[in-house]
Structure 1
């Protein structure tokens, strides 16, 4: 238990630091729309690669269809509810209430951390690969947090503190995921992994790629999705 927890927390420290780095970079200089789109495509490709190569095959091999169905369905419902919460209080132009958005981001990063902890049910390699994908995702969560709070008129100090709290949320979620992994039966682990798969699919299709397509897209930006996918796929074969 102690060894697993220490590894999980070590891995989780990377996306936690990426959350803070994304916020600080957004405060210093906003990346261009083209660069944001390219990196979001790349991040979506890496996360999708982990799903296709590691997590989904592991669920298939477990052969627990009903826990998988229930966990997946709850994951979809949770992510849709989270989307509704983050958009509540928006104005006619579609901007979102920063308080609701930050709450949703907080839940999101805790869930990301928990997924790192739970991924150890499939193996340490799977945990490492998922961490690589989530580093890019949490980087943009931090940048989104900073941009939203800056638009709302918050000070740089308050934005930095909020980003640090989000980073702590990643670590807290990872610790909780590791504890759950060592405390529940395989049936519940299967359901929780299916919940995580649904959350990651939502992340790729409804967040990263949707935001990446907001502006005019070039073939190079689109190709970054496939580059992220194949790079993580190659890493998986080499380690």
Structure 2
């Protein structure tokens, strides 16, 4: 019970599927029929609109799964904002028929996608994370691969994925501040080991949520984000949802 409460309060308020009757049911942004799957995270409707699926990052099986779920299907789009991105794509959660489970949640539950942590609505974010967690527990889809979650101690393995979205687990050995940035160091060699970097503005967000960054020292965490860096791999934290606290004795790769 203590572990569950700690995880819930600390970061994502991860909950069971039953905790929210209708997660991610934002304002309707119209309907349409899917004419084509453009890529692993975008579809084109028959009226010409290109829709980017909010809240997920793709895996090797996402495009095929999307085609199976959506090609030729009538869909409803839901989001808090229908403003297109710089590529002209409209971000949205996609629903089919009368189903109140988003396509994103279905992909996550089968291990055919990874949570991106871009969703800031707590109920929706928790539901997405719960879907992913269930797939991890069941070792479905991408989670059948032991390397789907990287070991923070294997810096070279992480660095080989530079420019990719990754999920990494490990113990924070130290928390250091340098100028306007805070570093969560996972290796004893600060320059070559894996580290998470957090700007002063985002640090304030953590503090405001009652999570002093120093409190993460010697804690096991799971982080997700885009890998960057030269000598050592880095993931920059921009949102609270990019980090999950793990139990001290929790098996690697499982989690809540």
Sort the TM-score into its range (normalised by shorter chain).
under 0.3
* Richer in strand (by share): 2
TM-score by length of 1: 0.24
Which gives a bigger RCO, structure 1 or 2 (Cα 8 Å, sep 6+)? 1
Q: Which has the larger radius of gyration?
A: 2
More helix by share: 1
TM-score normalised per structure 2: 0.23
